[in-house]
Amino acid sequence: MGLSALTDFVARNIAVVFLTLLVLLVISSAVFTVLSVRLKRLLSRYQVLIDGAEGKNMEELLLDYAERYRQLSERLAQQEKAQAEAAADSLKHIQRVGLVRFNAFDDVGSNQSFSMALLDAQNDGVVISSLYGRAESRLYAKPVAGGKSSYTLSDEEKQAIREAMQVEARSKSA
């Protein structure tokens, strides 16, 4: 086919040729748009990767990131260990308090005497009792282990320990 035959074909089918070129232009435009969007997304991801790179190559960047990750992993492990130690230590702190006020003597009113139990998570601690009278006041402290004492406890002291131990039951049910 010569040049004149091609010219004749184009002249006779100008609409088809024009339409074909238009379709090719639209398709290439769509492909260009899709590729532009992908390139923009890729460039933004690349910017995130090289942010603060200051002239380093990708191998140096990856090694830096790996080192940072290792350091952060170590710090996280240290923090988890410290948190576990603090949680274990907190079990030994006073967490439960029970208080009972009462009249120790007939001639004194207003419930000035009291028994107070101060217990940790294992129900270990102390029960303190103050007996208030017009002429004198007395203060007693008795050790508590597992919710019991090796000393004889008054009814009020037993009640204060029971109330303190119920703090756990209330907090677990809440």
Q: Per the structure, how many domains does the chain have?
A: 1
Quote the pLDDT of residue 53.
65
pLDDT digits (tens, 9 = 90+) for 87-137: 999 889 999 999 999 988 877 678 889 999 999 999 999 999 999 888 888
Residue 55: what pLDDT?
67
Assess if residue 12 is contained within a domain.
Answer: no
For residue 51, name the pLDDT band (cuts at 50, 70, 90).
confident
Q: What is the pTM of this model?
A: 0.55
Q: CA–CA separation, 8 vs 3, rounded Å?
A: 9
Does 5 fall in a domain? no
Q: What is the rounded distance in angstroms from the CA atom of residue 154 to the CA atom of residue 24?
A: 99
Do residues 104 and 113 lie in contact, with contact meaning Cβ atoms separated by under 8 Å?
yes
Residue 26 lies in a domain: no
CB atoms within 10 A of CB 104: 19
Contacts of 81 (CB under 8 A, 6+ apart): none
Q: For the ranges 5-14, 30-39, 95-104, which has the lowest average pLDDT?
A: 5-14
- Asked whether residue 130 is domain-assigned, the answer is yes
Question: Could you tell me if residue 153 is inside a domain?
Answer: yes
The pLDDT value given to residue 161? 96
- The confidence score (pLDDT) of residue 168 equals 64
Per DSSP, the chain holds a count of helices (H) and strands (E) of 4, 4
What pLDDT score was predicted for residue 81?
97
Distances (CA, A) of 131 to 17, 42, 100, 161: 111, 79, 12, 17
Segments forming the whole domain that contains residue 108: 96-173
Section 53-63 average pLDDT: 76
pLDDT band, very low/low/confident/very high, at 30 (cuts 50, 70, 90): very high
Is 48:61 a contact under the CB 8 Å cutoff? no
pLDDT reported for residue 46: 81
**77 located within any domain:** no
Q: Is residue 83 part of a domain?
A: no
The fraction of the chain above a pLDDT of 90, given in percent, is 58
pLDDT at 17: 82
- Determine the residue type at 153: L
| pLDDT for residue 173 is more than 70 | no
Q: What is the mean pLDDT of residues 23-47?
A: 92
According to the model, what pLDDT value does residue 42 have? 92
Residue 74 in domain: no
